[in-house]
Amino acid sequence: MSQNSLLQFFDTPYQTPPFDRIKEEEYLPAFKAAMAIAKKEIEQVAANTAEPSFENSIEALEKSGKQLTAISNIFFNLNHAATNENIQAIAREVMPLLTEYSNDIWLNTALFNRVKQVYDTRETLPLRPDQQKLLEDTYKEFVRRGALLTGDDKEEYRRVTKELSQLSLAFGEHVLAETNDFTLPITNERDLSGLPDGVKEAAAALAKNKGLKGWLFTLHFPSYMPFMKYADNRELRKKMFLAYSKRGNRGNENDNNEIIKKMVSLRLKKANLLGYETHADYVLEQSMATSRDRVYGFLKQLLENSFAFAKKDVEAVELFARTQGLKGRLERWDYIYYAEKLKKEKLGLNDEMTRPYFELDRVEKGVLGLATRLYGLQFKENREIPTYHDEVKVFEVFDEKDTFLSVLYIDYFPRPSKQGGAWMTAFREQYIENGRDVRPLVSLVTNFTRPTKSKPSLLTFMEVKTFLHEFGHGLHGMLSKVYYESQSGTNVYRDFVELPSQLMENWATEKEWLQEVGIHYQTGEVMPDELINKLIESVRFQSGYAMIRQLSFGLNDMAWHTLTHPFDGDVNEFEKEAMKPTELFPPVEGTCMSTAFSHIFDGGYSAGYYGYKWAEVLDADAFDLFKERGIFNREVAHSFRKNVLEKGGTEHPMKLYKAFRGHEPSVEPLLQRSGLTKQD
């Protein structure tokens, strides 16, 4: 045990995880050893005979379990970004242990009594605002985790939470397996008609890597999306669409229907045990929106403002498709294909025209350079810091005064061992310990277009926006300046956490930034003004449809989590009814979005997916200030850093937002930006 690298002091630069020394077989014993240490720390707090105080109860609890947190951060980040059967098996064994450990804290009567005694005297305590909030949040968290339960209810809560943790893990494993299981091999070159050369080259390289002849396409986004946009072969588009849209809904060993039924029913059971009518009521208590009625009102407002625009968007694509020879109705696997052609005709633009200007290395410099211009950050690549995969890049991050701020890991490309999508996470969050500022270890994980033998990684415009988005989350983590780890960085309300990320996306449509980033990888030519203008104009193209699509996800999420009775119906039919107000196409038998909806069943966004749109209102309103004062204005950036990025969860998000903006946000800037106002 003494030789377990996870239980030793990390003698690496900045105490980063020693990935080059960690062995898979070390994880389980490390978890158990760290859990035992953490339990003793908790017992000491609970058994303390001194009068309960903020320091010996709230702070002591906050500081407990640091080693267990460090091991968990390493392991579960790898389970998402570089997993295998061994890692998944360990996760299945560890999750129930961690849930039990967590429950042992929140359901510890002696510990809760100490917390409550401090909480009851909060008005008389000389606490800083962040300490006051930590005290209030700690007390609320105990209550929200079952501290007031008694007898059988307490045991039922333990059972429910344990099963939920296992089901969530299984859901994610199933989606990853379903994504990896399907491939579309092509040997007849005629079936590649319409596909750009770069897409074909990537498919040929993938086939060769698998020992196959011809070309290979997968459900990973950099392969799937270009195929759906450009492949002329309608039957193959349909095949790809159905494979993607039936993930977790095929009646096989990776089917997620029963998991969904169990999860929503158990989430309801948990909410009821804690005194809430629905899971959404439980979740939204800790949000800016505060209630399901307000969320539904918000979604309804956006729906009413955008549905007519969305219908026109679809009608325009269908009319265009008819001129291109489409027979019969426009199907879901036709939409993006013809929409891309219509964009090319109307705007003279498609992804392949801009892709040569978005070489990953230059985009990386542009994104990091944006943080330099706004916040004075400096990024220095360090190849000595160990990584969990040889494709991961690592940067040291410093401020203008050369003060170390963070380590930044970036993992760009898809792998069978990596979940789809893109996310920001941390191997360590920022906090103060014994007067020392412990700086964060932040990681950005994406699934961008891979380089080929003849071309570097060339990104689509959406991939550029995704990079900016995740980097915005990264800034939230890297610039954190708080005292307590639980308030650090992105530890904020779910409907506020997307503000820094979505704010960063705005620079993707600013000419001055695009001219710095958009340099042709072969000729060195700066992206022409005409192309930049088309790119900016394209943001409003089909924006009604894009809005409705997001709203459909939010309504689906809310429907699942406003159930008032256990669910044993048909998952597919329930989803159709939930998304009916946003429906623009006839349903397709066998497809189901919920069975692969990892955000809400394996990603912490249950009853919170609306938060993307909620935060979009904030980011559009916030960026208006940059547009008024200058998109690289250091004073505005400093204010956003000081009032939002550095503050984490130390204060209520609306207070932080108003400190930056001077007023509460309005929905109008978002509607105007999207071209969804009547005057447009």
Q: Which residues are catalytic?
A: 470
| Cβ atoms of 419 and 176 closer than 8 Å | yes
3-class SS at 329? coil
Strands 404-411 and 441-445: parallel
| SS3 sequence of 404-468 | EEEEEEEECCCCCCCCCCCEEEEEECCEEECCEEECCEEEEECCCCCCCCCCCCECCHHHHHHHH
E strand or H helix that includes residue 396: strand 393-398
Considering only CA atoms, which of 448, 467, 500 is closest in space to residue 644?
A: 500
Q: Count the residues in the chain.
A: 680
| Cβ atoms of 287 and 654 closer than 8 Å | no
Token couple for 255 = 């089917």
Token couple for 104 = 């042992």
| Cβ atoms of 290 and 284 closer than 8 Å | yes
Q: What is the C-alpha end-to-end distance of the chain, expressed in Å? A: 67
Alpha helices in 53-150 (DSSP H): 60-63, 66-81, 85-106, 109-120, 129-144
Neighbours of 527 (CB within 10 A): 21
Neighbours of 474 (CB within 10 A): 29
3-class SS at 393? strand
Neighbours of 40 (CB within 10 A): 10
| Cβ atoms of 422 and 466 closer than 8 Å | yes
Identity (one letter) of the amino acid at 379?
Answer: F
